[in-house]
Structure formats: structure tokens, C-alpha cells
């Protein structure tokens, strides 16, 4: 089950369509949808999580807590709507496109993809682009 929650009154447009798309991504990766929670928040809220849980004193667009077991994809993903808005401007793309990229990025991490090295980052970006085209 995929659920969307908001700490800052953010509401997705067409949540059912996004759920169908994300379920398709998970299926294409030969995984099973477990319990996935997207929590939309602001920079301050996500920064506090970053400091308290990861000991990182930086702003970020997403922090994910992976509870996946075997092929069942589960976890909590906190997304800063403010950071996504700013990144969309910086990358000269729409808010919808940037938000979709961040959302699928979290799913891909749960499916086992990493992005620490240059090669891992290239593969992650390629997967993101593939799935964004299916949205």
C-alpha cells in the first residue's frame, strides 16, 4: 500500500495516478509493494530529521527509511516540498517533474540501487529517466 501524508498541508494532484505509476516501477523491478509512506514536509522539518537521525547538518530533498525485507519494498520517505521547488527552479524543470524524480529515486533505493559513486549515480539517473518517461 502506498500512502501520502502531509505535515505542511501539501496535496498531490492525481494521487491515484501516482500510486499506479509507482506500483508499476516496483513491479518492473521485480519487487512487491509493501507499506510505503510518503510524508511531505518543509525544509525545517526535514533538516531536523537529518540532524537527529543521520547526524547531517544539511538541507536535502528526501530522507528515506528503508524497511524492505526480501522482495517486499517498504519504508518511509520524507520529502521537503520547499527543496523540491527550489531544485525544480535550479534544474529548469517543472515542480511535477522534480517531485516525480525524487519520489521514484526513493523507490529505486529501496529496490537496491545506490548513488554514491559516479557509476552508481549514472545508473540511478538512467533508471529515474526510464521510469519518468512511463509516468
47 is annotated as contributing to ligand binding: no
42 is annotated as contributing to ligand binding: no
| Other CB atoms within 10 Å distance of the CB of residue 67 | 15
CA distance 113 to 123: 8
78 touches 62 (CB < 8 A): yes
105 is annotated as contributing to ligand binding: yes
CA distance 16 to 14: 5
CA proximity to 129, closest of 94, 105, 112:
105
CA proximity to 45, closest of 31, 62, 32:
62
Binding residues for Zn(2+): 105, 109, 115
Binding residues: 105, 109, 115
Amino acid at each position: 500500500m502506498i500512502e501520502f501524508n502531509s505535515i505542511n498541508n501539501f496535496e498531490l494532484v492525481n494521487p491515484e495516478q501516482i500510486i499506479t505509476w509507482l506500483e508499476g516501477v516496483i513491479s518492473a523491478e521485480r519487487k512487491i509493494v509493501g507499506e510505503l509512506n510518503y510524508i511531505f514536509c518543509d525544509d525545517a522539518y526535514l533538516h531536523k530529521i537529518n540532524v537527529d537521525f543521520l547526524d547531517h547538518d544539511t538541507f536535502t530533498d528526501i530522507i528515506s527509511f528503508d524497511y524492505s525485507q526480501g522482495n517486499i519494498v517498504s519504508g518511509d520517505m520524507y520529502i521537503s516540498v520547499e527543496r523540491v521547488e527550489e531544485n525544480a527552479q535550479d534544474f529548469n524543470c517543472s515542480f511535477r517533474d522534480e517531485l516525480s524524480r525524487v519520489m521514484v529515486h526513493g523507490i529505486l533505493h529501496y529496490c537496491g540501487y545506490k548513488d554514491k559513486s559516479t557509476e552508481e549515480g549514472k545508473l540511478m539517473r538512467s533508471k529515474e529517466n526510464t521510469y519518468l518517461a512511463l509516468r
